[in-house]
Amino acid sequence: MTADALATEMANTERRRLRALVEVRLAEADALHAPDFELVHPSGGVWSKEQYLGGIASGDINYRRFEAVSSIDVMVDGDLAVLRYRSLIDIAVGGQEAGLLECWHVDCYRRDRDGGLWRVRWSQATSIDHA
């Protein structure tokens, strides 16, 4: 696979992951997140895969919108891919309305050794303040 084709595949995988989170497609979301996944969310806390996907399953984390609004830049080195992009997120967490957030994201994907499946291992979202 060419570098450009792999970059396109990774960007499409990330868009699919975001849609799965918004649409609460948990089996798909589970498959796209590594067992040791961690998210550093815009408030600075860290959620494990169980906390994150469990919160989505329970409705405690309710994405109404989560989409890339810039191109998704992709850097691949062997079995590691790093993605960077800007997003718009409309979310409620724990019943508290966070409203619309614009964020920078850096997501690190790792390819499984056994089948070549790419899964996100680390994700960090940084809120953009336009003030």
The number of folded domains in the chain is 1
Mean pLDDT of the chain: 93
- Check pLDDT > 70 for residue 114: yes
Predicted confidence (pLDDT) at residue 115 exceeds the cutoff of 80: no
pLDDT of residue 1: 75
CATH number at residue 64: 3.10.450.50
pLDDT tens digits, residue range 17-51? 999 999 999 999 999 999 999 999 988 999 999 99
Question: 14 near 28, Cβ under 8 Å?
Answer: no
pLDDT band at 74 (very low <50, low <70, confident <90, very high): very high
Q: Which amino acid is at 113?
A: R
How far is the CA of 5 from the CAs of 11, 47, 82, in angstroms? 10, 31, 15
> What range defines the domain where residue 15 resides?
3-127
Residue 46 structure tokens: 């860290």
